[in-house]
Protein backbone atom coordinates (compact mmCIF):
# COMPACT_ATOMS: atom_id res chain seq x y z
CA UNK A 1 0.00 0.00 0.00
CA UNK A 2 1.21 3.50 -0.84
CA UNK A 3 0.56 6.57 1.23
CA UNK A 4 -1.69 9.06 -0.59
CA UNK A 5 0.28 11.60 -2.61
CA UNK A 6 -0.69 15.17 -3.29
CA UNK A 7 -3.33 15.36 -6.00
CA UNK A 8 -1.94 18.03 -8.32
CA UNK A 9 -5.18 18.00 -10.29
CA UNK A 10 -6.84 19.85 -7.42
CA UNK A 11 -4.19 22.55 -7.82
CA UNK A 12 -4.55 22.51 -11.60
CA UNK A 13 -8.26 23.28 -11.40
CA UNK A 14 -7.43 26.65 -9.87
CA UNK A 15 -5.37 27.34 -13.01
CA UNK A 16 -8.20 26.48 -15.41
CA UNK A 17 -10.73 28.31 -13.25
CA UNK A 18 -8.62 31.47 -13.35
CA UNK A 19 -8.34 31.27 -17.14
CA UNK A 20 -12.08 30.68 -17.46
CA UNK A 21 -13.05 33.53 -15.15
CA UNK A 22 -10.79 35.97 -17.01
CA UNK A 23 -11.64 34.95 -20.57
CA UNK A 24 -15.39 34.30 -20.30
CA UNK A 25 -15.86 38.08 -20.06
CA UNK A 26 -15.20 38.02 -23.81
CA UNK A 27 -18.02 35.58 -24.58
CA UNK A 28 -19.74 36.54 -27.82
CA UNK A 29 -17.82 39.80 -28.25
CA UNK A 30 -16.22 38.69 -31.51
CA UNK A 31 -12.59 39.11 -30.43
CA UNK A 32 -10.96 35.68 -30.12
CA UNK A 33 -7.48 37.13 -29.57
CA UNK A 34 -8.60 39.22 -26.59
CA UNK A 35 -10.37 36.25 -25.02
CA UNK A 36 -7.33 34.04 -25.51
CA UNK A 37 -4.94 36.66 -24.14
CA UNK A 38 -7.04 37.09 -21.00
CA UNK A 39 -6.93 33.33 -20.41
CA UNK A 40 -3.18 33.06 -21.08
CA UNK A 41 -2.35 35.95 -18.74
CA UNK A 42 -4.47 34.54 -15.92
CA UNK A 43 -3.21 31.00 -16.42
CA UNK A 44 0.45 32.09 -16.44
CA UNK A 45 0.04 33.96 -13.14
CA UNK A 46 -1.78 31.02 -11.57
CA UNK A 47 0.98 28.60 -12.53
CA UNK A 48 3.41 30.63 -10.42
CA UNK A 49 1.72 29.38 -7.24
CA UNK A 50 2.11 25.67 -8.15
CA UNK A 51 5.01 23.79 -6.57
CA UNK A 52 6.16 22.11 -9.76
CA UNK A 53 9.16 22.30 -12.05
CA UNK A 54 7.14 22.38 -15.24
CA UNK A 55 8.15 22.58 -18.89
CA UNK A 56 5.48 23.43 -21.45
CA UNK A 57 5.42 20.67 -24.08
CA UNK A 58 1.99 21.53 -25.48
CA UNK A 59 1.49 25.29 -25.38
CA UNK A 60 0.24 28.20 -27.41
CA UNK A 61 3.14 27.22 -29.60
CA UNK A 62 4.73 28.10 -32.89
CA UNK A 63 1.42 28.22 -34.75
CA UNK A 64 0.07 30.99 -32.50
CA UNK A 65 3.39 32.87 -32.08
CA UNK A 66 2.64 33.12 -28.37
CA UNK A 67 4.65 35.37 -26.03
CA UNK A 68 3.64 33.28 -23.00
CA UNK A 69 2.94 29.61 -22.31
CA UNK A 70 5.02 28.82 -25.38
CA UNK A 71 6.56 25.42 -26.05
CA UNK A 72 9.64 25.01 -23.87
CA UNK A 73 8.67 27.67 -21.31
CA UNK A 74 9.31 26.91 -17.63
CA UNK A 75 6.26 27.21 -15.36
CA UNK A 76 5.63 26.72 -11.67
CA UNK A 77 7.55 27.74 -8.57
CA UNK A 78 10.67 25.77 -9.53
CA UNK A 79 10.19 23.44 -6.57
CA UNK A 80 8.50 20.05 -6.46
CA UNK A 81 8.21 17.35 -9.13
CA UNK A 82 9.56 17.80 -12.65
CA UNK A 83 6.62 17.58 -15.05
CA UNK A 84 5.66 18.02 -18.68
CA UNK A 85 2.84 20.52 -19.09
CA UNK A 86 0.11 20.69 -21.73
CA UNK A 87 -2.12 23.76 -21.85
CA UNK A 88 -4.89 25.19 -23.95
CA UNK A 89 -6.08 28.34 -22.15
CA UNK A 90 -9.08 28.55 -24.50
CA UNK A 91 -9.85 25.41 -26.46
CA UNK A 92 -12.28 26.84 -28.97
CA UNK A 93 -11.33 30.52 -29.28
CA UNK A 94 -13.91 31.01 -32.03
CA UNK A 95 -16.54 29.27 -29.93
CA UNK A 96 -15.88 31.80 -27.16
CA UNK A 97 -15.69 34.78 -29.53
CA UNK A 98 -19.03 33.98 -31.15
CA UNK A 99 -20.82 32.80 -28.00
CA UNK A 100 -21.07 29.19 -29.13
CA UNK A 101 -21.12 26.24 -26.70
CA UNK A 102 -18.28 23.96 -25.55
CA UNK A 103 -15.32 26.34 -25.23
CA UNK A 104 -13.18 25.12 -22.32
CA UNK A 105 -9.89 25.87 -20.55
CA UNK A 106 -7.63 22.82 -20.26
CA UNK A 107 -4.39 21.79 -18.52
CA UNK A 108 -2.62 18.42 -18.25
CA UNK A 109 0.50 17.35 -16.33
CA UNK A 110 2.62 14.21 -16.70
CA UNK A 111 6.04 13.14 -15.35
CA UNK A 112 8.92 14.85 -17.15
CA UNK A 113 9.84 13.14 -20.40
CA UNK A 114 6.59 11.18 -20.73
CA UNK A 115 4.60 13.53 -22.98
CA UNK A 116 4.76 13.33 -26.79
CA UNK A 117 6.19 16.50 -28.32
CA UNK A 118 4.43 17.17 -31.64
CA UNK A 119 7.16 19.37 -33.09
CA UNK A 120 6.09 20.70 -36.47
CA UNK A 121 2.87 18.66 -36.55
CA UNK A 122 -0.38 20.62 -36.35
CA UNK A 123 -2.90 17.90 -37.30
CA UNK A 124 -3.58 14.25 -36.58
CA UNK A 125 -6.28 11.77 -37.52
CA UNK A 126 -8.03 10.38 -34.42
CA UNK A 127 -10.42 7.71 -33.26
CA UNK A 128 -11.56 7.88 -29.61
CA UNK A 129 -13.84 5.37 -27.86
CA UNK A 130 -14.88 4.84 -24.21
CA UNK A 131 -13.36 2.30 -21.83
CA UNK A 132 -16.02 -0.32 -22.53
CA UNK A 133 -14.91 -0.48 -26.18
CA UNK A 134 -11.14 -0.40 -25.60
CA UNK A 135 -10.75 -4.16 -26.09
CA UNK A 136 -12.29 -4.11 -29.59
CA UNK A 137 -10.28 -1.19 -31.02
CA UNK A 138 -6.68 -1.45 -32.21
CA UNK A 139 -4.18 0.12 -34.59
CA UNK A 140 -5.93 -1.18 -37.73
CA UNK A 141 -9.22 0.50 -36.91
CA UNK A 142 -7.94 3.96 -37.80
CA UNK A 143 -8.14 3.05 -41.49
CA UNK A 144 -10.85 0.36 -41.35
CA UNK A 145 -14.24 1.00 -42.99
CA UNK A 146 -16.16 3.36 -40.69
CA UNK A 147 -19.24 1.15 -40.58
CA UNK A 148 -17.17 -1.84 -39.46
CA UNK A 149 -15.55 0.13 -36.63
CA UNK A 150 -18.85 1.62 -35.45
CA UNK A 151 -20.52 -1.79 -35.41
CA UNK A 152 -17.75 -3.13 -33.16
CA UNK A 153 -18.12 -0.17 -30.81
CA UNK A 154 -21.91 -0.50 -30.71
CA UNK A 155 -21.65 -4.19 -29.81
CA UNK A 156 -19.10 -3.49 -27.08
CA UNK A 157 -21.35 -0.81 -25.60
CA UNK A 158 -24.45 -2.99 -25.81
CA UNK A 159 -26.16 -0.60 -28.20
CA UNK A 160 -27.75 -0.76 -31.62
CA UNK A 161 -25.76 0.99 -34.32
CA UNK A 162 -28.43 3.65 -34.73
CA UNK A 163 -28.02 4.47 -31.02
CA UNK A 164 -24.38 5.47 -31.52
CA UNK A 165 -23.50 9.21 -31.60
CA UNK A 166 -20.26 10.26 -33.33
CA UNK A 167 -18.53 13.59 -32.68
CA UNK A 168 -17.08 15.06 -35.91
CA UNK A 169 -15.59 18.47 -36.59
CA UNK A 170 -17.63 20.23 -39.25
CA UNK A 171 -14.78 20.75 -41.74
CA UNK A 172 -14.58 20.25 -45.53
CA UNK A 173 -11.99 17.49 -45.00
CA UNK A 174 -14.65 15.39 -43.27
CA UNK A 175 -17.24 15.42 -46.05
CA UNK A 176 -16.61 11.78 -46.99
CA UNK A 177 -16.37 10.71 -43.32
CA UNK A 178 -19.77 12.24 -42.58
CA UNK A 179 -21.29 10.43 -45.57
CA UNK A 180 -19.83 7.12 -44.43
CA UNK A 181 -21.11 7.52 -40.87
CA UNK A 182 -24.58 8.33 -42.12
CA UNK A 183 -24.50 5.40 -44.55
CA UNK A 184 -23.58 3.09 -41.67
CA UNK A 185 -26.67 4.25 -39.79
CA UNK A 186 -25.06 6.04 -36.83
CA UNK A 187 -25.93 9.52 -35.65
CA UNK A 188 -23.62 12.54 -35.77
CA UNK A 189 -22.89 15.62 -33.70
CA UNK A 190 -21.16 18.20 -35.91
CA UNK A 191 -19.04 20.78 -34.07
CA UNK A 192 -17.21 23.70 -35.63
CA UNK A 193 -14.28 23.49 -33.17
CA UNK A 194 -13.13 21.84 -29.96
CA UNK A 195 -11.84 18.33 -30.46
CA UNK A 196 -10.50 18.03 -26.88
CA UNK A 197 -14.11 18.44 -25.86
CA UNK A 198 -15.05 15.75 -28.37
CA UNK A 199 -12.52 13.30 -26.93
CA UNK A 200 -13.70 14.05 -23.39
CA UNK A 201 -17.31 13.47 -24.33
CA UNK A 202 -16.46 10.18 -26.05
CA UNK A 203 -14.87 8.71 -22.90
CA UNK A 204 -17.21 10.24 -20.30
CA UNK A 205 -20.27 8.16 -19.37
CA UNK A 206 -22.29 11.30 -18.65
CA UNK A 207 -22.06 12.59 -22.22
CA UNK A 208 -24.24 11.52 -25.13
CA UNK A 209 -21.27 11.06 -27.51
CA UNK A 210 -19.94 7.50 -28.00
CA UNK A 211 -17.13 8.00 -30.52
CA UNK A 212 -14.94 10.83 -31.76
CA UNK A 213 -13.67 10.55 -35.34
CA UNK A 214 -11.70 12.69 -37.76
CA UNK A 215 -8.69 14.95 -38.13
CA UNK A 216 -8.06 17.62 -35.50
CA UNK A 217 -5.14 19.27 -33.76
CA UNK A 218 -2.04 17.31 -32.73
CA UNK A 219 -1.56 19.34 -29.51
CA UNK A 220 -5.22 18.73 -28.71
CA UNK A 221 -4.58 15.01 -29.20
CA UNK A 222 -1.87 15.02 -26.52
CA UNK A 223 -4.10 17.00 -24.14
CA UNK A 224 -6.91 14.52 -24.75
CA UNK A 225 -4.55 11.62 -24.04
CA UNK A 226 -3.84 13.07 -20.58
CA UNK A 227 -7.54 12.76 -19.76
CA UNK A 228 -7.95 9.36 -21.43
CA UNK A 229 -5.02 7.90 -19.44
CA UNK A 230 -6.95 8.84 -16.30
CA UNK A 231 -10.60 8.32 -17.16
CA UNK A 232 -10.10 5.25 -19.38
CA UNK A 233 -10.78 4.73 -23.06
CA UNK A 234 -8.79 4.33 -26.23
CA UNK A 235 -7.33 6.82 -28.68
CA UNK A 236 -5.87 5.63 -31.98
CA UNK A 237 -4.21 8.34 -34.04
CA UNK A 238 -1.66 9.22 -36.72
CA UNK A 239 -0.12 12.50 -37.82
CA UNK A 240 -2.12 13.90 -40.73
CA UNK A 241 -0.48 17.01 -42.24
CA UNK A 242 -2.95 19.25 -44.00
CA UNK A 243 -0.44 21.10 -46.18
CA UNK A 244 2.61 20.17 -48.18
CA UNK A 245 4.70 22.55 -46.07
CA UNK A 246 3.66 20.79 -42.84
CA UNK A 247 4.30 17.39 -44.42
CA UNK A 248 7.75 18.38 -45.64
CA UNK A 249 8.77 19.82 -42.25
CA UNK A 250 7.85 16.54 -40.57
CA UNK A 251 9.74 14.47 -43.14
CA UNK A 252 12.77 16.73 -42.73
CA UNK A 253 12.61 16.06 -38.99
CA UNK A 254 12.66 12.31 -39.64
CA UNK A 255 9.07 11.73 -38.49
CA UNK A 256 7.40 8.48 -39.58
CA UNK A 257 4.08 9.67 -40.99
CA UNK A 258 2.76 6.10 -41.21
CA UNK A 259 3.16 5.33 -37.51
CA UNK A 260 -0.10 4.70 -35.66
CA UNK A 261 -0.09 5.95 -32.07
CA UNK A 262 -2.16 5.10 -29.01
CA UNK A 263 -2.93 7.26 -25.99
CA UNK A 264 -0.08 5.42 -24.22
CA UNK A 265 2.34 6.70 -26.88
CA UNK A 266 1.16 10.29 -26.45
CA UNK A 267 1.44 10.14 -22.65
CA UNK A 268 3.70 7.29 -21.57
CA UNK A 269 2.90 7.38 -17.83
CA UNK A 270 -0.49 7.03 -16.16
CA UNK A 271 0.55 9.28 -13.26
CA UNK A 272 -1.16 12.17 -15.03
CA UNK A 273 -3.25 15.07 -13.79
CA UNK A 274 -5.90 16.85 -15.86
CA UNK A 275 -8.32 19.72 -15.33
CA UNK A 276 -10.84 21.42 -17.60
CA UNK A 277 -13.21 24.31 -16.82
CA UNK A 278 -16.17 25.33 -18.97
CA UNK A 279 -16.17 28.79 -20.57
CA UNK A 280 -19.18 29.09 -22.84
CA UNK A 281 -21.33 26.26 -21.52
CA UNK A 282 -22.75 23.41 -23.52
CA UNK A 283 -23.78 19.79 -23.21
CA UNK A 284 -20.62 18.72 -21.38
CA UNK A 285 -19.35 21.41 -18.98
CA UNK A 286 -21.46 24.41 -18.01
CA UNK A 287 -19.95 27.81 -18.67
CA UNK A 288 -18.96 30.63 -16.32
CA UNK A 289 -21.96 32.24 -14.66
CA UNK A 290 -21.26 35.79 -13.45
CA UNK A 291 -23.41 36.86 -10.52
CA UNK A 292 -22.65 40.46 -9.69
CA UNK A 293 -20.19 40.08 -6.81
CA UNK A 294 -19.00 36.66 -7.85
CA UNK A 295 -19.20 33.82 -10.33
CA UNK A 296 -19.77 30.08 -10.59
CA UNK A 297 -17.53 27.71 -12.55
CA UNK A 298 -17.89 24.03 -13.48
CA UNK A 299 -14.84 21.81 -13.91
CA UNK A 300 -13.70 18.27 -14.61
CA UNK A 301 -10.68 17.04 -12.61
CA UNK A 302 -8.88 13.72 -13.23
CA UNK A 303 -6.07 11.95 -11.40
CA UNK A 304 -4.66 9.21 -13.60
CA UNK A 305 -2.89 7.10 -11.00
CA UNK A 306 -6.11 6.38 -9.07
CA UNK A 307 -8.58 6.86 -11.93
CA UNK A 308 -10.47 9.38 -9.79
CA UNK A 309 -12.74 11.74 -11.73
CA UNK A 310 -14.30 14.73 -10.02
CA UNK A 311 -16.86 17.24 -11.21
CA UNK A 312 -16.43 20.48 -9.28
CA UNK A 313 -18.81 23.42 -8.99
CA UNK A 314 -16.99 26.41 -7.48
CA UNK A 315 -18.53 29.61 -6.16
CA UNK A 316 -16.14 32.57 -6.37
CA UNK A 317 -16.59 35.65 -4.16
CA UNK A 318 -15.02 38.79 -5.63
CA UNK A 319 -14.90 40.68 -2.32
CA UNK A 320 -12.65 38.03 -0.77
CA UNK A 321 -10.88 36.73 -3.88
CA UNK A 322 -9.68 40.16 -5.01
CA UNK A 323 -7.92 40.73 -1.68
CA UNK A 324 -5.42 38.04 -2.56
CA UNK A 325 -5.62 37.54 -6.33
CA UNK A 326 -3.20 39.19 -8.77
CA UNK A 327 -5.71 38.53 -11.56
CA UNK A 328 -8.40 41.19 -11.98
CA UNK A 329 -11.62 39.20 -12.33
CA UNK A 330 -14.38 41.65 -11.40
Does position 3 have pLDDT exceeding 50, yes or no? no
Asked if the structure places residue 193 within a domain, the reply is yes
Domain final residue, candidates 266, 291, 306: 266
Predicted confidence band of residue 261 (pLDDT cuts 50, 70, 90): very high
Full residue range of the structural domain in which residue 288 is found: 8-112+271-322
Rounded CA separation 65/80 (Å): 29
Domain final residue, candidates 266, 282, 300: 266
CA dihedral in degrees (131, 216, 227, 317; nearest 10)? -130
Domain final residue, candidates 232, 249, 266: 266
Q: Report, as an integer, the average pLDDT of 250-254.
A: 95
Does position 1 have pLDDT exceeding 50, yes or no? no
Rounded CA separation 120/185 (Å): 37
- Which residues belong to the annotated binding site? 36, 60, 88, 91-93, 123, 171-173, 193-195, 217, 220
Q: Among residues 146, 194, 147, 145, which one has the least CA distance to residue 169?
A: 194
Helix (H) or strand (E) holding 126: strand 123-129
Asked if the structure places residue 328 within a domain, the reply is no
Predicted confidence band of residue 66 (pLDDT cuts 50, 70, 90): low
One domain, residues 262 and 286: no
**pLDDT score, position 330:** 66
Rounded CA separation 234/139 (Å): 10
Q: What is the DSSP letter of 71?
A: T
- Which residues belong to the annotated binding site for Mn(2+)? 36, 60, 88, 91, 220
User: Tens of pLDDT along 158-206?
Assistant: 999 999 999 999 999 999 999 999 999 999 999 999 999 999 999 998 9
Please give the model's pTM, rounded to 2 decimal places: 0.93
Asked if the structure places residue 31 within a domain, the reply is yes
Asked if the structure places residue 298 within a domain, the reply is yes
One domain, residues 166 and 60: no
Amino acid sequence: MEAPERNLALDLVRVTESAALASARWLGRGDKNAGDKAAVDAMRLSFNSLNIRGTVVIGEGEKDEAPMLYNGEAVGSGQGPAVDVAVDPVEGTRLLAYGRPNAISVVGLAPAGSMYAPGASYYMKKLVVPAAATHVIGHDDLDAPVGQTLRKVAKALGKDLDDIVVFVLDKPRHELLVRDIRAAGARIQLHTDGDVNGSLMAVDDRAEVDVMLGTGGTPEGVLSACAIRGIGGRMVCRLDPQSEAERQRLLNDGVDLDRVLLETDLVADDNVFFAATGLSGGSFLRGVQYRGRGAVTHSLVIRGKTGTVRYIESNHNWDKLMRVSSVQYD
